[in-house]
């Protein structure tokens, strides 16, 4: 059934284009982040390019607008906004959004100086070691319950984390994987730390389409394209581009 839906969408888009009709426009919004930058007052960057590449295959034009988060969510409820392409899944949001399959996993990881790695299978392996992490980071319920048993210093900037690790004043850092890598790249230090293989916690990023959007029936085709891009490696290239661009942004 999924194949027939995807085929129908492609045939419809090609027929409309050959007949000379202007294609439909999908309205999207995403706040500035690692994944989305702002250029000339509108969202841009590899993830926006990804959305455009997917919809352009179906003859659909993407209209990207930067909106405050609360307003974007409100417009998803009414259908005034069709898609948010950078969003975490929650059960509450399923009341008015439908989610794609994940396209990138966002993890919180343990980082150590080179040659200082240790077996890490869970939070208990951090007990007895000195750690550092960002003030305000909320990782998981499990981590919060175990935090009283950990020796942790909280700091307000990533460069402080990097300095403490390099100076030997911390055995490890617990940090958002991409955030840590981006700040290390900015300082030319991306090759001076090791990331332990097992993450502390993970979350997935999705596309979300309003349940009132006329583009909701495109979701199977979007999922198929995400799968194809994961398999051929092009999705990883987009993730790498997003990280590199964020590292170049002051």
Buried b (16+ CB within 10 A) or exposed e, 219-237: bbbbbbbbeebeeeeebee
Q: pLDDT tens digits for 176-197?
A: 999 999 999 999 998 899 999 9
* Res 2: pLDDT: 53
Mean pLDDT of 89-115: 96
* Res 10: pLDDT: 46
* Domains by residue range for the chain, with CATH: 2-104+206-248 (3.40.190.10), 105-201 (3.40.190.10)
Query: How much of the chain exceeds pLDDT 70, in percent?
Result: 91
Structure tokens at 127: 């007990």
Q: pLDDT tens digits for 109-138?
A: 999 999 999 999 999 999 999 999 999 888
Query: How much of the chain exceeds pLDDT 90, in percent?
Result: 77
157 pLDDT higher than 50 = yes
What residue ranges in the chain does DSSP mark as E strands? Answer: 25-28, 37-39, 42-44, 61-64, 83-88, 97-99, 104-112, 130-134, 151-155, 172-176, 194-195, 201-210
Q: What does the mean pLDDT of the chain come to?
A: 90
161 pLDDT higher than 80 = yes
To which residue do tokens 């319920």 refer?
A: 141
Which helix (H) or strand (E) segment holds residue 50: the answer is helix 46-56
Q: pLDDT tens digits for 1-50?
A: 555 445 444 444 444 444 344 579 999 999 888 889 888 878 999 999 99
Q: Is the separation of the CB atoms in 193 and 113 below 8 Å? A: yes
Which residues neighbour 88 within 8 Å (Cβ) at sequence distance 6 or greater? 203, 204, 205, 206
Q: Are strands 172-176 and 61-64 parallel, antiparallel or unpaired?
A: unpaired
* Res 17: pLDDT: 41
Dihedrals phi, psi of 127, to nearest 5 degrees: -65, 135
* Res 124: pLDDT: 95
61 pLDDT higher than 90 = yes
The residue among 70, 60, 68 whose CA lies nearest residue 216 is 60
């Amino acid at each position: 059934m999924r194949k027939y839906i995807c085929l129908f969408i492609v045939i419809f888009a090609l027929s409309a284009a050959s007949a000379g009709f202007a294609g439909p426009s999908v309205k999207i919004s995403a706040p500035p982040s690692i994944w989305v930058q702002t250029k000339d007052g509108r969202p841009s960057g590899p993830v926006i390019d990804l959305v455009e590449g997917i919809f352009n295959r179906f003859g659909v034009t993407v209209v990207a607008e930067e909106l405050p988060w609360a307003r974007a969510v409100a417009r998803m409820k009414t259908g005034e906004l069709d898609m948010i392409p950078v969003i975490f899944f929650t059960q509450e949001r399923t009341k008015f959004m439908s989610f794609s399959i994940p396209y990138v996993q966002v993890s919180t990881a343990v980082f150590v100086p080179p040659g200082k790695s240790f077996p890490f299978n869970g939070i208990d392996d951090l007990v007895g070691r000195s750690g550092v992490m960002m003030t305000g980071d909320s990782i998981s319920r499990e981590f919060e319950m175990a935090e009283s048993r950990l020796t942790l210093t909280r700091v307000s900037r990533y460069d402080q984390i990097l300095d403490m690790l390099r100076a030997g004043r911390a055995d490890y850092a617990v940090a958002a994987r991409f955030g840590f890598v981006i700040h290390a790249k900015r300082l030319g230090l991306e090759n001076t730390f090791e990331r332990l293989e097992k993450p502390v916690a993970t979350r997935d990023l999705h596309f979300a389409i309003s349940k009132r959007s006329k583009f909701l029936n495109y979701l199977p085709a979007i999922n198929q394209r995400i799968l194809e891009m994961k398999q051929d490696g092009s999705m990883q290239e987009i993730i790498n581009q997003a990280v590199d661009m964020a590292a170049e942004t002051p």
